[in-house]
A and B are shown apart, each in its own frame.
Chain A
């Protein structure tokens, strides 16, 4: 094979090499199914937030069709999907994304290491006709919130603490963020003003969920506890300590992820290699299960729990903590699991991989 070296573009070559290398080490921190606009129950679009700060939407159907032609070529590599639209949302990793509202005026909220929460008009994502090469910096956020800095002695300012997770209360028009300064913040979407600060954890926060029926939020922190807060007063109502009354200290560490079920009365809470299920009305721990690897994301599917962690498995537990099934998935370490109403699950994680698993447990498509 002879190449024509006259038009050799060394910079482009270098860039492509670096990009490839960067993709190898990218991590998808969160995947979210986009709300579907038409009545088609099939999952259409998935949005992924990754460690390079990008927020990209992918069309499942085009991935599948590409996969088919891809399979025919018998290549062993994973499919490299081209996003429908992507935006360079944050400096540094983007940790969480969430949809705010649905339909035409839905906002896509993202947060990341730069301590910002940004809102993007979802309509612009879907209706964009900007070529992929020009995307990235092209779209401007409609909402941009920055975490407050703490003042130290002599007027010194702390660095802007990062946002690790966000939750929303659409009726109240609020966004909750779990922040690196061990505080949770409540923002008003309309005004962009900080409403409430939830102070009490002794270490940074990993996760946050909103329990809107009771106007509460629940946070999970590095200090090993989860706390339930009242949004009105900003006071901590209850401290949940998964490690309490147990001697197995080694199993427990930070509360990495928490999840609420549909009725908002059951709480799954994972700390280290332990998954505990709590009944909130009775404020009692129902079951504790120790897992092989530390759990990094949990999710309720009716009365079952989906969990992913530091091993390439998607586990399904029942409420008593018994394993119902384990499905091999592509990312060697998974950071996010999300469920579409049709039963399709997406697992995102290390390697920039997203594995979409159908309701049968078969792999719909896998891409990076």
Chain B
């Protein structure tokens, strides 16, 4: 969890996610032995200890006695504290009292450790006595137990135990630290409790990271793993601090290999170089998307390697022969790249698996969305990735033992990994879901939230409407699709110059009106509908509705077809624009698609409306009104919805009628 850049793959806090095998093989562990055996002598406290009170040595004696006292801590711990500190409150210490106690305890701990070292005993075992076959605890665990008890009960400040543990690990040698860590692990449940965790998580993280820094990553693999496991359990799953948020790759994890062919042994050195050069790409996958040349090189190298794997499939016996590794007898955390080993490695199924899994991880990274647009692979690259992936999976399946099972598990792990990537991209949201707070109902009346069968109230009402109105379809008064002669009347009136209706009130400004009308015309009057291309919305209005002088304008003359065609050309663009606007569905009317001039007029109308009241009442709403309505309360919206639905029902009705007619004819 500490360093998240294994194989340069953007890992999340997934020590639990990737199996140990893959992790270790690809992990970016430098082989520098960073073991720093802190001796007690070189120990220096990072925080000065205050000896505020002269009586500290006396107080310490009290604690020493307490440690030696048998029985559970609850029997005497609190009394001891009270005896030493004489607190203002009985059970909870104030801030400065806490500080005082902490100083005493830290000094005491230091004293205990130094005497343990002088006696040559293990720190955690110091003071252990074996009486009557019953082993009593050592002094230090005893002290820790008592403090832990006090912290848990919140008698003293919760961070104190963590402070002591940090001191203790810093004072101890690595060998003793193992014992101390064992103690920490055994108290994991208590330390992880919400109150304690909140007080001490940072100290704990620091302690663990310090330990990790002191350990050799090559030799103390097990202890490192223990610490990482502890961290993974101790911190919540969504803890961000261990996450490689930016997905930075550990590019320092270089796989070195020989550049010059060795003397005296026979090897295909070109292949050797091709094979190991793949690791450069695995180490830094981001570079592949940026430069296509690199990608080309990578794929060609990969093809050579895959061809070779394919050319020499491993038999089951070879798979069994190398089963030793499963017993972790020869478990290495980094590839050995000696050219002498090449032949052996290629015959080792687990080696092949490692390389193939690396490929899969890389492909997964390349396919993962959410990076910058330009980082996304191109279509051709996606194709290549896909074909490569299939080949790799096939090879994994072929590799004994139990290739199919292995592939399935890897697939599963990678799938989970994808989820982690998504989680990280969403900003690492916590997994704990807060329980929904129940609204306290003041007036006692039980208001049960009604469940809507169809999602919300309006839809449910619509659904029920049919049941409630069984004769709706036979009702002569039911709403039908309006006839276009009726429907277009208002617009025809607008077009009659003699009516003198001002342009801004024309119905053609209402896009909903136009859209509905066009749909009606398309079903009832195809000839009229086709005039739309030439004359726009006004051409669709049935000629019979228009006064003769206006009518002639829209009448198509058979002899001016050529003219019309020309006009078409010249008007083409404009007409198209108009069409686009008008043909937008009604739901978008209140969006941003309104023409500038419409907006202007609407604004003007707004003023008018406020001044003169709602002029167009009863008529079709103007765009502005429509906008207002839709942003209005639920009731109105519902009403509108109903209206729409009725229209829709009518239309369906019309369609079925037509079908019946056809049947009758046929």
- Is the beta-carbon distance between A41 and B265 smaller than 8 angstroms? yes
Q: Per-residue CB proximity of A15-52 to B under 8 Å, as 1/0?
A: 00000000000000000000000011111000000000
- Contact assessment for A358 and B311 in the assembled complex, using a CB-CB cutoff below 8 Å: no
Q: How near does chain B come to A319, taking the closest CB pair, in angstroms?
A: 14
B interface: dominant SS: helix
Whether A342 contacts B311 by the Cβ 8 Å rule is: no
Task: Determine whether the beta carbon of A362 is less than 8 Å from that of B266.
Answer: no
In the complex, whether A170 has a CB less than 8 A from a CB of chain B is: no
A269 interface residue per 8 A CB criterion: no
* Contact among A39, A42, A343, A362 with B271 in the assembled complex (CB-CB below 8 Å): A362
Which of the residues A43, A67, A365 comes within 8 Å of B266, measured between beta carbons? A43
Chain B residues with Cβ below 8 Å from A234 are none
Let me know if A359 is at the binding interface, CB within 8 A.
yes
Q: Once the chains are docked, how many angstroms separate the CA of A362 from the CA of B266?
A: 13
| Residues of chain B with a CB closer than 8 A to A325's CB | 311-313
CB-nearest residue of chain A relative to B296?
A74
CA distance A328 to B343 in the complex (A): 19
- The one of B263, B264, B268 in contact with A360, judged by C-beta atoms closer than 8 angstroms, is B268
B79 CB–A CB distance under 8 Å = no
Complex Cα gap A287–B267 (Å)? 34
Contacts of B269 in A (CB 8 A): 64
A43 to B342, CA, bound (A): 17
Evaluate contact between A326 and B270: CB separation under 8 angstroms: no
In contact, A343 and B266 (Cβ under 8 angstroms): yes
Counting CB contacts under 8 A, is A68 at the interface?
yes
Q: Are A327 and B311 in contact (CB under 8 A)?
A: yes
Q: Which of A315-335 contact B (CB under 8 A)?
A: 324-328
Decide: B266 and A342 in contact? CB cutoff 8 A: yes
How near does chain B come to A61, taking the closest CB pair, in angstroms? 9
One digit per residue, 1 when the CB lies within 8 angstroms of any chain A CB and 0 when it does not, for chain B 298-323 equals 00000010011001110100000000
- A359 contacts B268, C-beta separation under 8 Å: yes
Whether the Cβ atoms of A67 and B270 lie closer than 8 Å is: yes
Q: Are B264 and A362 in contact (CB under 8 A)?
A: no
Establish whether residues A360 and B266, one from each chain, have CB atoms under 8 Å apart when the complex forms: no
- A326, B269: Cα distance in complex, Å: 22
The reply to whether the CB of A92 lies closer than 8 angstroms to some CB of chain B is no
* Chain B 331-375 interface residues, beta-carbon cutoff 8 Å to A: 342-343, 346
Question: For residue A64, which residues in chain B have a CB less than 8 angstroms away from its CB?
Answer: 269-270
CB distance from A297 to the nearest CB of B (A): 18
B271's closest neighbor in chain A, by CB?
Answer: A362
Q: Is A359 touching B343 in the complex (CB atoms < 8 A)?
A: yes
Give, as a whole number of angstroms, the nearest-CB distance from B352 to chain A.
12
Q: Which of B549-607 contact A (CB under 8 A)?
A: none
* Max chain A Cβ within 10 angstroms of own Cβ: one of B265, B267, B313, B342: B267
Q: How far is the CB of A31 from chain B (nearest CB, A)?
A: 17
B308 touches A362 (CB 8 A): yes
Do the beta carbons of A324 and B315 come within 8 Å of each other? Answer: yes
Contacts of B271 in A (CB 8 A): 358, 360, 362, 364
Q: In the bound complex, how far is the Cα of B274 from the Cα of A68, in angstroms?
A: 12
Residue pair B266, A364 in contact (C-beta under 8 Å) = no
Do B313 and A362 have beta carbons less than 8 Å apart? no
CA distance A365 to B271 in the complex (A): 10
Tell me, in angstroms, the Cα distance from A43 to B268 when the chains sit together. 10
CB < 8 Å neighbour of A362 from B263, B265, B307, B315? B307
B-chain residues with CB within 8 Å of residue A328 when the two chains form the complex: 307, 311
Give B251-297 interface residues, CB cut-off 8 Å to A: 263-271, 274
In the complex the two chains form, what is the Cα distance from A26 to B266 in whole Å?
Answer: 30
Kindly state the interface size class of chain A when it binds its partner. Answer: 20 to 34
Proximity bits, B90-105, A CB within 8 Å = 1, else 0: 0000000000000000
Query: How many B residues face the partner with a CB closer than 8 A?
Result: 20
Q: Are A41 and B264 in contact (CB under 8 A)?
A: yes
A148 within 8 A of B: no
Give B313's nearest chain A residue, CB to CB: A325
| Chain B residues with CB under 8 A of A324 | 313, 315
Interface residue from B263, B264, B265, B311 paired with A361 (Cβ < 8 Å): B311
Q: Are B270 and A361 in contact (CB under 8 A)?
A: no
A344: CB under 8 A from chain B? yes
Q: Indicate if the CB atoms of A359 and B311 lie closer than 8 Å.
A: no
Instruction: Note all chain A residues with C-beta closer than 8 A to B263.
Output: 40
User: Which of A324, A358, A360 neighbours the largest number of chain B CB atoms within 10 Å of its CB?
Assistant: A360
Q: Which of A68, A326, A358 contacts B268 (CB 8 A)?
A: A358
Give the chain A neighbours of B270 by CB distance below 8 A. 64, 67-68, 362, 364-365
Contact at B311–A326, with CB atoms within 8 Å?
yes
Distance in Å: Cβ of A8 to nearest Cβ of chain B: 40
Complex Cα distance A358/B312, Å? 11
> B304: which A residues are within 8 A, CB to CB?
362-363
In the complex, A362→B305 CA distance in Å? 8
Contacts of A344 in B (CB 8 A): 266, 268
Contact with B along A130-150 (1 / 0, CB 8 A): 000000000000000000000
Query: For the complex, what is the distance from the CA of A46 to the CA of B375, rounded to whole Å?
Result: 48
Query: Beta-carbon contacts of A230-249 to B below 8 Å, as 1s and 0s?
Result: 00000000000000000000
Instruction: Report the separation of the CA atoms of residues A43 and B266 in the bound assembly, to the nearest whole angstrom.
Output: 8
Q: Which residues of chain A are near B315, meaning CB under 8 Å?
A: 324
Beyond A359-B343, A360-B346, is A42–B266 a contact (Cβ under 8 Å)? yes
How far is A328 from B271 in the complex, measured between Cα atoms in Å?
Answer: 16
* Whole-angstrom distance between the Cβ of B312 and the nearest chain A Cβ: 4
CA distance A365 to B343 in the complex (A): 18
Q: Which residue of A lies closest to B347 (CB)?
A: A360
Q: Interface 1/0s, chain A 193-214, versus B by CB < 8 A?
A: 0000000000000000000000
Does the CB pair B343–A40 fall under 8 Å? no
Report Cα–Cα, A41/B266, bound state, in Å: 6
Query: Which residues on the A side are within 8 Å of B265 (C-beta)?
Result: 41-42
Q: Mark A323-357, 1 if CB is under 8 A from B, else 0.
A: 01111100000000000001110000000000000
- A182-B264 Cα distance, complex, nearest whole Å: 46
| Cross-chain pairs A/B with CB under 8 angstroms, 13 sampled | A40-B263, A40-B264, A42-B265, A64-B269, A325-B311, A325-B312, A344-B266, A361-B312, A362-B268, A362-B270, A362-B271, A362-B308, A363-B304
Query: A39-B264, A41-B265 given. 10 additional CB < 8 A pairs?
Result: A40-B263, A43-B266, A64-B270, A324-B313, A359-B266, A360-B312, A361-B307, A362-B271, A362-B308, A365-B270
**Minimum-distance CB pairs A-B, first 9:** A358-B268, A342-B266, A361-B311, A362-B271, A327-B311, A361-B312, A362-B308, A42-B266, A41-B266
